[in-house]
Amino acid sequence: MNAITRLATAVSLASLFPLTALAADSKGTVEVVHWWTSGGEAAAVKVLRELVEKDGYTWKDSAVAGGAGSAAMTVLKTRVVSGNPPGAAQIKGPDLQEWGALDLLAPLDDVAKANNWDGLLSKTVANTMKYDGHYVAVPVNIHRVNWLWINPAVFKKAGIDKAPTTLDELYAAGDKLKAAGFTPLAHGGQPWQDSTVFEGLVLGIMGAEGYHKAFVENDEATLTSPKMTEVFTALKKLSTYMDDNRAGRDWNLATAEVIDGKAGMQIMGDWAKSEWTAAGKVAGKDYQCVPMPGTAGSYTYNIDSMAMFKLKNEGDIAAQHDLARIALEPEFQYVFNQNKGSIPVRSDLDMSKFDSCAQASMKDFQAADKAGKLEPSMAHSMATNLAVQGAIFDVVTNFMADKNADPSKAGAQMAAAIKSAQ
């Protein structure tokens, strides 16, 4: 059974007619399911809430903690299966197609037309937001995933004078940090975090083309190639720079270790920057952002978007449309993205208002787009459906948990796991 059929079966067990919540006031309510719960993320989503409330609508916050959103997606499915969908939910990438196929998402074409979304968004972004040619979600940002975050003060103490650009330099920095008593690579032990590091290695070792074949096409020859053995060998090596007690640790706690000077580096998407910003730290001074070693010139993107569910109450529908309209307004795009660590999803804004990491991200996004090196993040649900992603996560996390795992066997395990998830 493929992912769409699985979701459809679950949903068909319940009424497809949502229980329309009574709006708390006459103007309408939008309930929003999202997973932005870290300090920096909460500061970012507050911007959206305040703008919706300023327009006289009620924001019902349904945050579900859990990095990368798998807990939020489980809650969302349960809500929909019981006939009680929220007005809006953070749904991303190919998953939008699956929800769209169930005919549960409200088209946003009127808002899109009135606000020129086609003119404002790049084709890559616009296409991701459309199901069957209709907008079913509004994008709020673009995150870059292939970043390495560095605490330069810690580097200095460990005698490292430059940011690593290759894997060998990364290992050398790791050795020096370890010798100086620091955790070289801060990391939380959760499958999506493991796969965030893994996909960075795939990009670095196999290039954008190999990455595409592995994660977008799920090409068996690529998944089982000697290059994939090299990737797993590197993953094993990188794990030796992570703290052994990391099981279950949230990503923002790992970021805090770098901010607090206990660890030297973290491989993480630029939502990590939201924590640095919330801690009052300045890009280029208190911390450095560089492409994950080996991946300069390539860009793994992760677009956050809000999808709207079909509702009946006119006021609540108006609230959904208001949220969708606000999300692309410059006022929101500037402040939200400065807090979130991402870059604006529209390309006509003044990037001088952003810090050096965001400016580099925008420049690299546009260059990678031109060079055909813009790739959707697998770990952040942009490259495959969630069933295939789950299969990859399992193989990667089991591999990292088993010190005796054989790098030359992991690729074949992954190819088999993907096949049975398809």
Which residues of the shown chain bind ligand BGC in the complex (CB under 6 A)?
35, 41, 67-69, 143, 251, 271, 302, 304, 380
Task: CB nearer to ligand BGC: give 277 or 413.
Answer: 277
In the complex, the smallest distance separating the C-beta of residue 198 from ligand BGC, rounded to whole angstroms, is 15
Given the complex with ligand BGC, which of 164 and 341 has the nearer CB atom?
341
Q: Which is nearer to ligand BGC, 158 or 374 (CB)?
A: 374
| Tokens of residue 394, six digits | 């399992």
Least distance to ligand BGC from the beta carbon of 143, Å?
6
Torsion angle, alpha carbons of 276, 279, 282, 287, to 10: -50
Nearer to ligand BGC by Cβ, of 66 and 407: the residue is 66
DSSP code per residue over 21-57:
PPPSSSS-EEEEEE---SHHHHHHHHHHHHHHHHTTP
Shortest Å distance, C-beta 109 to ligand BGC: 25
**Nearest CB to ligand BGC, comparing residues 224 and 381:** 381
**Measured distance CA(154)–CA(173) in Å, rounded:** 11
Sheet architecture: strand order including 263-267: 183-186, 263-267, 147-150, 288-291
Residue 422 C-beta-side C-alpha neighbours within 13 Å: 13
DSSP state of 352: G
Q: In the bound complex, what is the minimum distance in angstroms from residue 44's beta carbon to ligand BGC?
A: 8
Alpha helices in 269-355 (DSSP H): 272-278, 314-328, 330-340
CB of 76 vs ligand BGC, minimal distance in Å: 14
Q: How many CA atoms lie within 13 A of 196 on its CB side?
A: 28
Tell me the closest approach of the beta carbon of residue 273 to ligand BGC, in angstroms.
10
Which residues, 6+ apart, have CB-to-CB distance to 356 below 8 Å? 283, 284, 289
Render 102-171 in DSSP notation, one character per residue: TT-BPP-HHHHHHTTHHHHB-HHHHHHHEETTEE-EEEEEEEE--EEEE-HHHHHHTT--S---SHHHHH
Q: Return the number of the residue (194 or 304) whose C-beta is nearest ligand BGC.
A: 304
Residue nearest to ligand BGC (CB): 271
**Nearest residue (CB) to ligand BGC, 392 versus 415:** 392
Q: Which pair of structure tokens corresponds to residue 379?
A: 């770990």
291 or 341: whose CB is closer to ligand BGC? 341
CB of 12 to ligand BGC, least distance (A): 28
Rg of the chain taking only CA atoms, in angstroms = 21
Cβ neighbour number for residue 187 with a 10 Å cutoff: 27
Residue 412's H or E segment, with its range, is helix 407-421
Q: Write down the least CB distance from residue 65 to ligand BGC, Å.
A: 9
